[in-house]
Chains A and B, each alone.
Chain A
Amino acid sequence: MGGMNYTVVDSKRLATAEIYGKTLVELGEKDKRVVALTADLAKSTKIGDFKEKFPDRFFNVGIAEQNLFGIAAGMAKAGLIPFISTFSVFASLRATDQLHTDICYQNVNVKIIGTHSGTSYGQAGSTHHAIEDIAVVRSLVNLKVIVPADGIETANAVRAAYATDGPVYIRINRGFDQTVYADENYGFELGKGVLMNDGNDITVIANGSCVFQAVQAAKILEHDYGIHARIINLHTIKPIDKEIILKAAEDTRRIITVEDHTVLGGLGTAVGEVILEHGRACAFKKLGLNDCFSAIGFHEDLMHINGIDTDSIVKNAVDMMKHAHVVEITAEGKTTKALKFDDRNFEAEIDWTDEV
């Protein structure tokens, strides 16, 4: 793994999985039914704290993800609340049959924490990138799917999963996530999107690591172009918050979705389905991996290469604004909104002179 020049201090401070581990300990203290399972990835998935605190409630099944899911299903049947931790790519693909049949079909109370999701395990390569997991898990019956934006939201998601009966899949990154929320008291609710920035020109719907990028993009769009972007953190993909999506479609008529995932079957698809089902017309663009595997490298660089970073969101938003804007049409005393396509020039000149 070349170029790992961050320090141990950073990794401890920033890892989202670390926060998951601590929240799990908190739940373990509260409820003796909470047990933790892993397939030889306790260290990588940061549940070592739970192992130390509750050694008799911690189970390492070895490198055998299918068994991990089967055993967890059995434990749930016996009345326990198992939290499974493994890499997203293994949770969603290697153990799909067990997830489908042992957990979802039986609707058992198992919580699956998929770590190192999207391209966040950048240097480990395509075998460890989880770019299809949402497409798989959101199609499974009974399974709720959460994609937190940062460590703070991960803590909220884990608590919400514990408080919700039935299987839940939480998709988190490898770590080093940018902080989106200052604290946990911002009104997290399973199945409800969070309005991060209000605006009526365009809506950017993001989840996971893309939320931070979208929030920054909104600042740039306003600062450089005078474009007011509405930013929505759609942390729960299933059940999806139809209300917030439809309101955005109605208010802004332009929607961009951003996800660290293939554009086939993930957040963008889920949002598109809602819009289509309700017969709303709007300009629509999905940012994500376009039916391709990702390059290998630092996550931040991969986000740029894959077109899901701040830069790419800004470019796409400006492009969408160029081609369509909302006009109000008044006829017979009634005012309605419609899309007008044109070529508004939003190119901003950048002065690259150093300040002295």
Chain B
Amino acid sequence: MNDVIITQDDLYAARIFFNSALPLLKVVIQSKPEISAKFRNKRFVFQISALYNKAPDGKMATYFIFNKGDITVKVSEIHPKPDIELVFPDLKKFIVFFSGKGTPLPKMKGVVTHFGAFVAALKGLLAMAKLLGATDAPTDQADQELCVKLFFYLLPNGISQLNKAGQEKVRDFVLKSPDRAYAFAVTGYPELNSYIRVKEGNSKAGRGEYPRCKPFLTLRFDSVIHALDILMGKGDMVDYMANKYLTVEGAPEFAGTVGEFMLLVASYAKAAYMD
């Protein structure tokens, strides 16, 4: 064990990485045929973990079960005997690594015996990190769509995770909220949509169109590229709304709150509190 001091912000950031960002590896693999082909006949468990002595099992983790092309993601669970595992010595190093603030390397277990699978998983992780960390829109259309999908899946999930972790602002908002859904959408690309449903302290992030009814509020972009502009902080929201690149469907008074929480998730994903 180690004596690194872990702050509340570290715990929020770790939760976003473990429960919201790392699961996107599955989305990346499934969207890239050249990577998913590498897993077609493979059966193994790949776990990413960080030691944390206050966690029930002494660490936090996310793991992936690869089963001949199928991928199952498990969050908030520890696999007792993963085939491959990347273990960070503490949460801080884990956050520094995934936020791109540094390269404290993890211990690698089982890599030698499952080298091919490890390389493929690593490729997926690198592709994901490249897309989520991009400051300019990818040139390839498929990558642009994937990038928006990753952000759209990450943001509501991150907000929901912050609520579940008790982040004060998000928690307060969700506790006071009636049953409402906030959605992210790009016109003509329903597969990119995502949403978060909140109700009296509970929250759930989902993918695709909100199935129960029209969301309370939808932030709708007119195109993938305009969505990327805003997600990458390159566009001015007011200008984009004036030009109808971005429309707020539903209750506009609440768009500011959603925007604030989006920025909060982004700041944890960048570990901005460490600056």
Tell me how far the C-beta of B192 lies from the nearest C-beta in chain A, rounded to whole angstroms. 14
**Cβ–Cβ < 8 Å partners of A186 in chain B:** none
Question: Cβ of A354 and Cβ of B256 under 8 Å apart?
Answer: no
Question: Cβ of B204 and Cβ of A353 under 8 Å apart?
Answer: yes
**Interface: A173 (CB within 8 A):** no
**Interface: B189 (CB within 8 A):** no
Given contact pairs A7-B238, A352-B202, A224 touches B212 in the complex (Cβ within 8 A): yes
The contact string, 1 if C-beta is below 8 Å from chain A, for chain B 12-34, is 00000001100100100000000
A-B contact count (CB 8 A): 88
Given contact pairs A10-B252, A176-B251, A311-B178, A356 touches B19 in the complex (Cβ within 8 A): yes
CA A223 to CA B254, docked complex, whole Å: 25
**Cβ–Cβ < 8 Å partners of A178 in chain B:** 214, 250-251
Question: Cβ of A311 and Cβ of B252 under 8 Å apart?
Answer: no
Interface centre among B73, B179, B205, B247 (most CB of A within 10 A): B179
Q: How large is the interface on A (under 10, 10 to 19, 20 to 34, 35 or more residues)?
A: 20 to 34
Tell me how far the C-beta of B245 lies from the nearest C-beta in chain A, rounded to whole angstroms. 11
Given contact pairs A10-B248, A220-B212, A309-B178, A356 touches B23 in the complex (Cβ within 8 A): yes
**Cβ–Cβ < 8 Å partners of A11 in chain B:** 252
User: From B251, which residue of chain A is reached at the shortest CB distance?
Assistant: A300
Question: Cβ of A6 and Cβ of B207 under 8 Å apart?
Answer: no
CA A178 to CA B253, docked complex, whole Å: 12
Tell me how far the C-beta of B163 lies from the nearest C-beta in chain A, rounded to whole angstroms. 10
Question: Cβ of B253 and Cβ of A300 under 8 Å apart?
Answer: yes
**Interface: B160 (CB within 8 A):** yes
**Interface: A200 (CB within 8 A):** no
CA A352 to CA B20, docked complex, whole Å: 15
Q: List residues 1-53 of chain B with CB under 8 A from any CB of chain A.
A: 19-20, 23, 26
Interface centre among B26, B199, B211, B248 (most CB of A within 10 A): B248
The contact string, 1 if C-beta is below 8 Å from chain B, for chain A 161-184, is 000000000000000101100000
Given contact pairs A298-B253, A351-B204, A310 touches B248 in the complex (Cβ within 8 A): no
User: From A303, which residue of chain B is reached at the shortest CB distance?
Assistant: B178
Q: Give the residue of B26, B203, B204, B214 whose beta carbon is less than 8 angstroms from that of A216.
A: B214
Given contact pairs A310-B213, A356-B19, A5 touches B207 in the complex (Cβ within 8 A): no
**Interface: B55 (CB within 8 A):** no
Q: List residues 4-58 of chain A with CB under 8 A from any CB of chain B.
A: 4-7, 9-11, 13-14
Interface centre among B178, B202, B254 (most CB of A within 10 A): B178
**Cβ–Cβ < 8 Å partners of B199 in chain A:** 350
- Residues of A whose CB lies within 8 Å of any CB of B are 3-7, 9-11, 13-14, 176, 178-179, 215-217, 219-220, 223-224, 298, 300, 304, 309-311, 314, 350-356
Tell me how far the C-beta of A26 lies from the nearest C-beta in chain B, rounded to whole angstroms. 23
**Cβ–Cβ < 8 Å partners of A9 in chain B:** 238, 241-242
Question: Cβ of A4 and Cβ of B238 under 8 Å apart?
Answer: no
**Interface: B157 (CB within 8 A):** yes
Question: Cβ of A352 and Cβ of B157 under 8 Å apart?
Answer: no
18 contacts between A and B (CB under 8 A): A3-B253, A5-B257, A10-B255, A13-B247, A176-B253, A178-B251, A179-B249, A215-B213, A217-B213, A219-B212, A220-B213, A223-B213, A298-B251, A350-B204, A352-B203, A353-B204, A354-B75, A356-B75
Question: Cβ of A352 and Cβ of B204 under 8 Å apart?
Answer: yes
**Cβ–Cβ < 8 Å partners of B75 in chain A:** 354, 356
Given contact pairs A224-B212, A356-B157, A6 touches B248 in the complex (Cβ within 8 A): yes
Question: Cβ of A310 and Cβ of B253 under 8 Å apart?
Answer: no
